[in-house]
Amino acid sequence: MGRFFCAVLTNSPKKGIMGLTNLQRGAKNMKRLLSLFTAFALVLALGIFLPEGALSSSFFTVNADNLEDFSYYRYFDGTIAISKYNGSNADVVIPDEIDNISVTIITKNAFKDNTAVKKVTLSKNCNMIEENAFSGCTSLQTVVVPDTLTHILDNAFYGCSSLKEIDLSQVKVIWKSAFRGCSSLSEVSLNEDFCDLKEYVFADCTSLKSITIPSTAKTIEQFAFKGCTSLENVTLQEGTIYLENGCFMGCTSLKSIFLPKSILRVEYDAFYDCSSLESITGVQGGSYVYKDDSVFAFAKSSYELYIFPEANDSFTPGKGSRTISRNALRHCPKLTDIYLYGCNGIAYDSGMLYNGDFSELIRCLETYSGQINISSECKLIRKYALSRIKANTVTIPDSVTEIEDEAFVDCKSLYTVYIPDSVTVFGENIFGGCSNLTIMCYKNSAAEKYAKENSINYKLLDATPGNVNEDDVSVF
pLDDT digits (tens, 9 = 90+) for 166-200: 889 899 999 999 999 999 999 898 988 888 899 99
Mean pLDDT, range 402-409, rounded to an integer:
94
SS3 per residue for 186-219: CECCCCCCCCCECCCCCCCCCCCCEEEECCCCCE
- Worst-scoring range by mean pLDDT, 51-60, 122-131, 304-313, 465-474? 51-60
Q: Residue 260: which pLDDT band, with cuts at 50, 70 and 90?
A: confident
pLDDT value of residue 270: 83
Query: Helix, strand or coil for residue 125?
Result: coil
In this structure, of 258-272, 283-297, 337-351, the range with the lowest mean pLDDT score is 283-297
Q: 366-378: per-residue pLDDT in tens?
A: 766 778 889 999 9
Closest of 149, 155, 182 to residue 167, by C-alpha: 149
Counting residues of the chain whose pLDDT is more than 70, the rounded percentage is 68
The predicted pLDDT at position 364 comes to: 82
Q: How confident is the model at residue 385 (pLDDT cuts 50, 70, 90)?
A: confident
**Whole-number Å distance between alpha carbons of 295 and 278:** 7
Q: At what angle are helices 2-9 and 13-49 packed, to 10 degrees?
A: 140
Query: Strand 296-299 vs strand 288-291: parallel, antiparallel, or unpaired?
Result: antiparallel
pTM for the predicted model, two decimal places: 0.64
The full length of the chain comes to 476
Reported confidence tier of residue 64, pLDDT bands at 50, 70, 90? very low
What local confidence, expressed as pLDDT, does residue 68 receive?
82
Per-range mean pLDDT, top range of 259-263, 321-325, 440-444 = 440-444
Phi, psi of 200 (to 5 degrees): 60, 15
For residue range 437-475, list pLDDT tens digits in order: 999 999 999 999 999 999 999 999 976 544 445 445 555
Q: What is the pLDDT of residue 326?
A: 52
Q: How high is the pLDDT of residue 337? A: 52
Q: How far apart are CA 363 and CA 341, in angstroms?
A: 18
Question: Mean pLDDT over all residues of the chain?
Answer: 78
Q: How confident is the model at residue 252 (pLDDT cuts 50, 70, 90)?
A: very high
Q: What integer pLDDT is reported at residue 474 of this predicted model?
A: 59
d(CA 46, CA 424): 62
Instruction: Label residue 61 by pLDDT band (50, 70, 90).
Output: very low
In the predicted model, is pLDDT for residue 15 greater than 80? no
Query: What's the confidence (pLDDT) of residue 76?
Result: 85
pLDDT of the residue at 213: 92
Rounded CA-CA distance 78/190 in Å is 30
pLDDT at 3 over 50: no
Displacement of CA 473 from its chain's centroid (Å): 41
The rounded distance, in Å, linking the Cα atoms of 32 and 351 is 88
Helix (H, G, I), strand (E, B) or coil at 383: coil
List the beta bridge partners of residue 70.
85
Is residue 205 over pLDDT 80? yes
- Dihedral of alpha carbons 205, 231, 129, 119, sign: negative
pLDDT bracket for residue 307 (50, 70, 90)? low
Q: Residue 379 carries which side chain, given as an amino acid letter?
A: K
**Residue 8 C-beta-side C-alpha neighbours within 13 Å:** 10
Residue 231: Cβ-neighbour burial (10 angstroms; 0-12, 13-18, 19+): buried
Q: What is the arithmetic mean of pLDDT over 14-25?
A: 38
